[in-house]
Amino acid sequence: MNKNSTLAYIIGVSLGDGNLSCPNGRVTRLRITCDSQYPLLIQEITLKLKQLLPNNKVSLVDRKDNCVDISVYSNTLNDFMPWKVNNGSKYVQKARVPAWIFKNNGHIKNCLKGLLQTDGSVYTDRRYKMVNFTNHTQELAIDVHKMLVNIGYTPHFYEHSNTKQKTKYVVRVSKNTERLISELQLKKE
């Protein structure tokens, strides 16, 4: 996997479960939070961060709530993450998939894999396998829909409004899901 493919994957994972901060006032930290029941996913994210930033230490911190924080410090994160530290949350900044990812199907697949591993699910409904992406940022959900269309799928887009919470956007693939799962190697394990 080349550096841009690795970066596309890390951007996908980060858009899903990542957070940017600058706790010491000097260096940006990317923290990706994973459920500790998925050790292979944690290992994959750690490996990709080490490939992307080979001169930086990647740390794992176990949290009390059965989660693991995967962290790396680097000011180069400011150059390639689609949202900026200290400008509010990804939701507030309406973080989107960078345009360069849409120009290459390999990059699209790597970014989608990261997004679906973090904000997605694979499940069976009435004996049919489904793949869902769920997020509160409409622009990001639109990007996921567009990426799936670009690589040959026919996703459905849903909007669920609730007066007490933010609107939730769902992108669902219900046809050729086994092919999508295989193509993106969607395993959390």
For domain 3-96, give the CATH number: 3.10.28.10
What pLDDT was estimated at residue 53?
Answer: 96
pLDDT category at 64 given cuts 50, 70, 90 is: confident
pLDDT tens for 120-164 read 999 888 888 999 999 999 999 999 999 999 999 999 999 988 767
Rounded CA-CA distance 43/59 in Å is 11
Identity at 45, one-letter amino acid code: I
Domains 3-96 and 101-184 share a fold: yes
CATH architecture of residue range(s) 101-184: Roll (3.10)
26, pLDDT greater than 70: yes
Q: Where are the domains of the chain?
A: 3-96, 101-184
Note whether 169 and 158 are within 8 A (CB).
yes
